[in-house]
Structure 1
Amino acid sequence: MEISKVQSTFFEHIGFRRDETDSDAFNLELDLQPELLQDDGTIHSGVFSTMLDIVMGATISQKFLSFATTINLNISFFNLDPYPSFRAETTILHHDTKSVTAEGVIFNYEGDLIAKGMGTFKISPGSRQ
């Protein structure tokens, strides 16, 4: 069973890219675009919230061959300063037959921690093909 690699228009609109160098993981990258900035010059926290939600959900979908629906998402932001690029990664913390809990982190291009989130996702095994 293979997971579909279809990207949504929203995914493309924000400018997310999947890092294809690691076939076992679903990591996201994002280059800074002017439209992602707030009036004060910082990046809107919603961009990082979305990035964490997508990277965790997609990682779970890929690992468990399942749709992953967000149940709960908690995020801490450490730095909203504009950097040229960002990378998001996921670690699976716990899973059972109905849900998965994961941790997602975002780093800037220098490797500094930007944001960290924990999410719980409902899984529907066998529903992705």
Structure 2
Amino acid sequence: MRTPETKSTFFEYMGFNSTITDKFELALPLQEHLLQEDGTIHPGVFSTMLDITMGATVSLATNSFAATINLNCSFLDLLPKEAYHAETNILKEEGKYVTAEGMIYDQNRGLVAKGIGTFKTTPRKDIKEGGDC
């Protein structure tokens, strides 16, 4: 069974670094394989980063598994920077549904992408051992 601390092969391929203290933090150093032919960062990198950081934040805050049901992203700067980090805030909790916002900053604290997502939570105790979540 996966936990917020579990890293996948995809996570490692992307090059993400995460830490969990009282919150989930996600960082990404620039890597060649993240660039498009024109030298810019592929927007999917930022979409993935936002989805991971918001989902993990929701999961930690609710002690639940968080499944993305809606994700909207805006990309403000796709020029490559040295490194990126993501921050998340929970905006609203309503029953099983949680809405969060995420921001991705470059190493100089310049905002490069932002997003808002809605997640459906499933309490960990409701997931059967060996389940596919």
Shift of the 83–118 alpha-carbon distance from structure 1 to 2, 3 Å rule, reads same
2:69 aligns to what SS in structure 1?
Answer: strand
Q: Deviations over 1:73-117 (max 9, x none)?
A: 000000001001000010000002210000000000000000000
Scaled by the length of structure 2, the TM-score of the pair is 0.89
What's 2:10 paired with? 10
| 1:108 aligns with one of 106, 109, 114 | 106
Secondary structure in structure 2 of the residue aligned to 1:103: strand
Runs of 5+ consecutive residues of structure 2 not aligned to the other structure: none
Q: 1:77 corresponds to which residue?
A: 75
Name which of 29, 39, 50 aligns with 1:52. Answer: 50
Shift in alpha-carbon separation, 1:4–1:77, aligned structure 2, 3 A: closer
Calculate the TM-score normalised by the size of structure 1.
0.92
Could you tell me which of 76, 94, 97 is aligned with 1:96?
94
Return the offset for 1:12.
Answer: 0.8
Alpha-carbon offset, residue 55 of structure 1: 0.2
- Return the letter of the residue paired with 1:10: F
Give, in whole Å, the separation in 1 of the partners of 2:78 and 2:37. Answer: 13
The corresponding residue for 1:32 is 30
Number of residue pairs aligned between Structure 1 and Structure 2: 125
Identity %: 54
CA positional deviation for 1:125: 2.0
SS at match of 1:61: helix
CA RMSD of aligned residues (A): 1.5
Alignment partner for residue 117 of structure 1, among 115, 118, 131?
A: 115
Query: Alpha-carbon deviations, 1:13-35, whole Å to 9, x = none?
Result: 10000135xx1110100000001
Q: Which residue of 2 aligns with 1:62?
A: 60
